[in-house]
């Protein structure tokens, strides 16, 4: 029996990179002898919003709960306010399904060039572990006296000991499985006297259970500088929701382009489906040009296969991506290539089958 995957291709370049990535994922599963995957397309997103006044149907979460995983292309359209698109699809799925881990690896692949002078693949290989369920993206707040000079907007962050502890515990466990066993914690406790002091205290408490991991605390502004000046000093970086969002985009830029980075929204308990997506947005400025980079979506596919227990199939995708980076014709223009979305995807399928 095939394993069922929900596919929300979404908006902008989302359908293009999704259409490019899924055949590569299927080729890897076939080459590795894994159980086939069945992809069910769900036409939700900004177009659905224009037709129905909402980004997903009312029973969307109930329907998604029956799948083993969710593959997301991109969400967002210039015609729909960003907070409507994000709170209409992405955040409800993350929060309702307990996807409290947002995993965002950033590794400079051989053949790609970092914007950092004199930095190569040996210098940039890190993972941002972002808290994904609360923090600065908690839906707490409101606006008063709209449209007047007395208008007030209040946006509150929510940090719980349980929420911090579980993401920090996951990050320490990941660091233990990596050769360098380094953990950096992003904080701002010099100015956030309540939330971030709690964050620091929990990190210190959890560190006692992981004596083999070297942990360092950085204020987030100093850590952003370190990403640029000393990326080789970083391995696993654990962050709150907002800090992780920003730093992981910076990390993707350091490894060549937002277009190369994939991410996983994980429920480590596996009670609910996890969701996999490239970290780039819908990029409406290049939608329809055939130039969108499918690497990020394929990297997300690799993370999905690994989560589904198909480690060798996931490794096939990674090796195919490494091979594609070697030649300009199998890269898109954002990473110095001459290929198109479709031609790069076709080459990756052939690389997987030849492995």
Percentage above 90 pLDDT, the chain: 94
- Active site annotation includes 122: no
User: Which residue is catalytic, options 11, 249, 267, 334?
Assistant: 249
Q: Over the Cα atoms of the chain, what is R_g?
A: 20
Q: Confirm whether 1-110+265-355 and 114-255 share one CATH topology.
A: yes
Domains of the chain, residue spans: 1-110+265-355, 114-255
Decide if pLDDT at 158 tops 70: yes
Angle among Cα 134, 140, 141 to the nearest 5 degrees reads: 150
Q: How far apart are CA 231 and CA 252, in angstroms?
A: 12
Q: Give me the mean pLDDT over the 43-68 stretch.
A: 95
Q: In the numeric block, which tokens belong to residue 128?
A: 């941002």
The 10s digit of each residue's pLDDT in 60-74 is: 999 999 999 999 999
Identify the active-site residue in 188, 235, 267, 334.
188
pLDDT per residue over 258-309, tens digit each?
999 999 999 999 999 999 999 999 999 999 999 999 999 999 999 999 999 9
Q: What CATH number has the domain spanning 114-255? A: 3.40.718.10
Predicted confidence (pLDDT) per residue in 186-223, tens digit: 999 999 999 999 999 999 999 999 999 999 999 999 99
Tell me: pLDDT of 155 over 80.
yes
- pLDDT band of residue 40 (cuts 50, 70, 90) is very high
| C-alpha closest to that of 204 among 239, 242, 165 | 165
Write the pLDDT tens digit of every residue in 81-120: 888 988 899 999 999 999 999 999 999 999 999 999 999 9
Is 232 among the residues known to form the active site? no
> What's residue 216's pLDDT?
98
Which residue in 40, 139, 205, 221 is the catalytic one?
221
Annotated catalytic residue 137: yes
Whether 40 is catalytic: no
Predicted pLDDT of residue 48 = 93
- Integer distance in angstroms from the first to the last C-alpha of the chain? 26
Catalytic residue check, 245: yes
The CATH code of domain 1-110+265-355 reads: 3.40.718.10
């Amino acid at each position: 029996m095939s394993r069922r995957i929900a596919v929300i291709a979404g908006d902008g370049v989302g359908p293009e990179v999704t259409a490019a990535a899924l055949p590569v994922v299927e080729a890897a599963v076939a080459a590795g002898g894994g159980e086939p995957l069945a992809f069910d397309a769900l036409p939700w997103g900004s177009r659905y919003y224009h037709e129905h006044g909402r980004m997903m149907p009312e029973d969307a979460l109930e329907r998604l709960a029956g799948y083993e995983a969710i593959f997301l292309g991109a969400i967002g359209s210039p015609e729909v306010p960003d907070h409507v698109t994000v709170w209409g699809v992405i955040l409800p799925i993350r929060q309702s399904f307990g996807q409290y881990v947002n995993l965002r690896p950033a590794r400079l692949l051989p053949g790609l060039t970092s914007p950092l002078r004199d930095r190569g693949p040996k210098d940039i290989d890190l993972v941002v572990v972002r808290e994904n369920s609360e923090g600065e993206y908690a839906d707490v707040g409101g606006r008063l006296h709209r449209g007047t000079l007395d208008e007030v907007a209040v946006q509150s962050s929510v940090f719980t000991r349980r929420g911090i502890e579980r993401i920090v515990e996951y990050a320490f466990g990941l660091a233990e499985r990596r050769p360098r066993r380094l953990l950096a914690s992003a904080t701002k406790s010099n100015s956030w006297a309540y939330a971030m002091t709690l964050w620091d205290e929990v990190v210190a408490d959890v560190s006692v259970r992981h004596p083999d991991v070297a942990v360092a605390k950085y204020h987030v502004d100093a850590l952003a500088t370190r990403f640029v000046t000393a990326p080789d000093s970083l391995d696993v970086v654990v962050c709150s929701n907002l800090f992780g969002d920003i730093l992981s985009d910076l990390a993707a830029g350091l490894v060549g382009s937002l277009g190369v980075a994939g991410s996983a929204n994980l429920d480590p308990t596996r009670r609910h489906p996890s969701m996999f997506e490239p970290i780039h947005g819908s990029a409406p400025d290049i939608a329809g040009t055939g130039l969108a980079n499918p690497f990020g979506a394929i990297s997300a596919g690799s993370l999905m296969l690994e989560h589904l227990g198909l480690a060798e199939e996931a490794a096939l995708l990674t090796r195919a991506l490494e091979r594609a980076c070697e030649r300009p014709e199998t890269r898109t223009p954002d990473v110095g290539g001459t290929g198109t979305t479709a031609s790069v995807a076709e080459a990756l399928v052939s690389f997987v089958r030849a492995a």
